[in-house]
Amino acid sequence: MNSPVKPMELLTVSSVNQMAKKIMELQIGYIAVQGEISKTTLHSSGHFYFTLKDDKSSLDAVLFKNKVYQMFSKNLSFTEVDSEKLPKLGELWICEGVLTIWEKTGRYMFKVNQAVPSGRGKLYRDFQLLKEKLYARGWLNPENKKKIPPFPLKVGVISSPTGAAIRDIIKIYTRRFPAAEIIVSPALMQGKQCVDSILQALDRIKQFPVDLIILTRGGGSPEDLAEFNDERLAQAVFHLEIPIVSAIGHEIDQTIVDLVADLSASTPSAAAELVFPDRDSVLRNLDSKKNQVRTAVFSVLEKHKKNIEHLSEVYAFRIVPDRLRELRVTVDNYREVIEKQPLRTISSLQLKLQVHRRNFQAGRILKELKIRREKLELINDKMIHNIRGKNKQWKQNCRYFGNLLGSLSPQLVLTKGYSIVTDHQDKVITRGNLLKKGKKYKIKFIDSTWLMKSEKEISNHDN
């Protein structure tokens, strides 16, 4: 039986896209569109891709390479693009061109021939107004920032529990400073309920004695990050008594929360690098400080030893024996003169001898010795004071670094519910495949060590 309907012509996908492209370009024609710049990409090919948007919709657009060099070139040779002239996020631009379809994917976009700035977009204006308002309040001043602790042992993290940001932080924390403890307070990081969710997460985490808080999420469009420009969230961050580190988006992104926080990181991974010290570097620094303290103490002792040796050689301590030797020589000379000279010179020599005796009065020497002795005692007291001060400082440093080494002790791991398995040679067993069926092994807990016999493998985490 013949069908009364004429068979429809079969078209290829390419021909459909070609037809749609011609209809769109011919029917709509050359148009001008005003919108806010939302996303921008300067491709390695030289083409500039961006998105125009308003409150309800968005439109993908492209400036091909030749247009980019004509409109945004650094010089008349049109060989280098001035990135400062390109449209920026949040700016309002008027673009002229035609709507077209990319035949390969069927995706339609706005092919721009001319573009001129028309002002700033709403998101950008709202950001600037709130920034100026908070700056006037002093919330952005560096002197109001709380100090980030160098060795945080308990860190709170507010982020999406399933996002890449929290995984990056845990990975870096495990590698750099596993002695610390992370407390995650989950929250929505996007959408209308984002702000309320983060405020609730802050309230929850304040119930724990954390040393600092990391507020983080991955990158996104300005619309995705707009909730972090909320004044209520900025107020909660500023008035928080616990130091807070923000890492919102990528390096090029900046939000009000980043400006108000005590420390801002470009990415979640960068925040973890800033917060958690490197364990190996800390241990090396401890050894270095210990050597510096030892060297400083020995240096002070050696310095005072040389001072004492120098004082023993000064003129004040040698004057008495030297003067006595001079007087003996003088007396001998006078005795010789007396023996050779007539008796009439005896009275003259006696007068000269009396002059020498008056010059060499014991009182003057004793007075000089007293002054020198007082100076020596003052130097000795100062030396003792300095040595005691250095000794006290060394003890404090040793006590501080001893406590820090204690926090890195394997014994601390046992207090958290972990145990250590060793064989009959006390060699630590790190993997299940090293256990032999029927063999006996020691299992060390925090309070005791048990002798166990292996039977069989009940699970394998590698599979």
- The whole-number pLDDT of residue 115 equals 87
- The whole-number pLDDT of residue 463 equals 47
Residue 149 pLDDT greater than 90, yes or no = yes
Q: Is 4 helix (H, G, I), strand (E, B) or coil?
A: coil
Query: For residue 319, what are the CA distances in angstroms to 114, 309, 311, 315, 355?
Result: 99, 17, 13, 6, 19
Residue 342 pLDDT greater than 60, yes or no = no
- The whole-number pLDDT of residue 116 equals 83
Helices 362-407 + 315-340 axis angle, to 10? 160
More confident residue, 402 or 389: 389
Residue 348, C-beta contacts closer than 8 angstroms, at least 6 positions apart: none
Smallest Cα–Cα separation from 92: which of 125, 129, 49, 46? Answer: 125
More confident residue, 342 or 399: 399
Spell out the long-range contacts of 322-326 with Cβ–Cβ below 8 A and sequence spacing 24 or more.
323/360, 323/365
Q: Tens digits of per-residue pLDDT, 71-106?
A: 887 765 567 888 888 888 888 898 999 999 988 888
Mean pLDDT for the stretch of residues 441-458:
84
State the Cα–Cα distance between residues 36 and 61, nearest whole angstrom. Answer: 12
Mean pLDDT for the stretch of residues 265-275:
92
Task: Report the largest interatomic distance among the alpha carbons of the chain, rounded to a whole angstrom.
Answer: 177
Mean pLDDT for the stretch of residues 186-200:
93
- The whole-number pLDDT of residue 213 equals 96
Q: Is 186 helix (H, G, I), strand (E, B) or coil?
A: strand
* pTM: predicted TM-score of the whole model, two decimal places: 0.46
Tell me what the pLDDT averaged over the chain comes to.
Answer: 83
Mean pLDDT for the stretch of residues 60-71:
90
Residue 316 pLDDT greater than 60, yes or no = no
DSSP state of 120: E
In b/e form, how buried is each residue of 127-151, taking b as 16+ CB within 10 angstroms? beebbeebeeeebbeeeeeeeeeee
- The whole-number pLDDT of residue 413 equals 72
- The whole-number pLDDT of residue 264 equals 92
Q: Which of 100-109, 164-173, 228-237, 277-286 has the lowest mean pLDDT?
A: 277-286
- The whole-number pLDDT of residue 6 equals 56
